[in-house]
């Protein structure tokens, strides 16, 4: 049986009135923890991404697996930049990030 690669993320541990937010990148193994009242918590939180693709369907090589993981900003960026046309993903919303600009 294959060992479960997924680890619980965003666990909040009760330390008297202050929650600790923990992140773990399933790609590179990077970990980060900080206090919920950390003055930079919003900036730190934006550097982590949870992806929940749900249960893979019949026909997928991962049929029946629930695909959910957390990835750090660096790994997500590297993944997207490996796309044939990363601008089709990154040029959206209120910004257009491109490696060439």
Using CB atoms within 10 Å of the CB of residue 17, give its burial: 0 to 12 exposed, 13 to 18 middle, 19+ buried.
exposed
| Nearest to Zn ion of 5, 39 (CB atom) | 5
Dist CA 28 CA 45 (whole Å)? 17
Place of tokens 């919303």: 93
Helices (H) and strands (E) in the chain, counts: 3, 7
Q: Is 72 in the site for Zn ion (CB under 5 A)?
A: yes
Nearer CB in complex with Zn ion: 60/79: 79
Q: Does 25 bind Zn ion (CB under 5 A)?
A: yes
75 is a contact residue toward Zn ion (CB under 5 A):
yes
Shortest Å distance, C-beta 71 to Zn ion:
6
The residue among 30 and 45 lying less far from Zn ion, judged by its C-beta, is 30
Q: Within a 10 A sphere around the Cβ of 24, how many other Cβ atoms? A: 21
Contact 20, 37 (CB under 8 A): no
Q: Tell me: does residue 21 bind Zn ion (CB under 5 A).
A: no
Q: Which stretch binds Zn ion (CB under 5 A): 22-30, 43-51, 59-67, 85-93?
A: 22-30
Residues that bind Zn ion (CB under 5 A): 25, 27-28, 30, 72, 75
């Amino acid at each position: 049986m294959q060992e479960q690669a997924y680890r619980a993320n965003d666990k909040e541990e009760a330390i008297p009135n202050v929650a600790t937010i923990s992140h773990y990148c399933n790609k590179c193994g990077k970990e980060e923890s900080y206090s919920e009242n950390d003055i930079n918590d919003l900036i730190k939180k934006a550097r982590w991404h949870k992806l929940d693709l749900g249960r893979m369907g019949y026909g997928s090589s991962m049929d029946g697996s629930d695909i959910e993981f957390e990835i750090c900003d660096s790994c997500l960026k590297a993944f997207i930049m490996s796309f044939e046309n990363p601008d089709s993903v990154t040029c959206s919303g209120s910004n257009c990030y491109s490696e060439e600009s």
